[in-house]
């Protein structure tokens, strides 16, 4: 198993541009989570899906952020328009069943907005 796969690993973009981050969860995992990590705030949950359905998006900072999961093997996190304060490392994680087991993180996407 290749684990949770995220792309790209690094993204540098100009303020105002659209950014799309991608995630492929572990096959068979029915929960998918998007996190943001900064030095100041640590890891913060943005949104999570169960069986491709968004369950809790209360962590999404503002309307500029959106996430989709069109099928069990793919999810995207989109920021439009991007701002410098969005610069962070974004992690995707997936897990089994209730979300309490087999929790695995991807390697993250480091986003820099200039």
Alpha carbon distance 43, 18 (integer Å):
23
> Per the structure block, which two tokens stand in for 101?
């087991």
Alpha carbon distance 43, 41 (integer Å):
7
Among the listed residues 2, 53, 63, 98, the single contact to another protein using CB under 8 A:
98
E-assigned strand segments in 1-114:
5-7, 10-13, 19-24, 31-38, 42-50, 53-56, 65-71, 74-79, 88-96, 101-105, 109-113
Nearer to another protein, 60 or 99 (CB): 99
Nearer to another protein, 16 or 102 (CB): 102
Task: List binders of another protein among 1-20 (CB under 8 A).
Answer: 4
| Residue listed under structure tokens 């209360």 | 58
Residues in contact with another protein, shown as a per-residue x/- string from 37 to 66 under the rule CB under 8 A = ----xxxxx---------x-----------
67 binds another protein (CB under 8 A): no
Among the listed residues 19, 46, 93, 113, the single contact to another protein using CB under 8 A:
93
* Interacting residues with another protein (CB under 8 A): 4, 41-45, 55, 91, 93, 97-100, 103-108, 110
């Amino acid at each position: 198993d290749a684990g949770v796969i995220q792309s790209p690993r690094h993204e540098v973009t100009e303020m105002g541009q659209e950014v799309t981050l991608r995630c492929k969860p572990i096959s068979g995992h029915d929960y998918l989570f998007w996190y943001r990590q900064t030095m100041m705030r640590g890891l913060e949950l943005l949104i999570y899906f169960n069986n491709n359905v968004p369950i809790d998006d209360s962590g999404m900072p503002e309307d500029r952020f959106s996430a989709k999961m069109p099928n069990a093997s793919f999810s995207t996190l989109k920021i439009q328009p991007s701002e410098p304060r969005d610069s962070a490392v974004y992690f995707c994680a997936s897990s089994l069943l209730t979300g309490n087991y087999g929790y695995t993180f991807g390697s993250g996407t480091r986003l820099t907005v200039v």
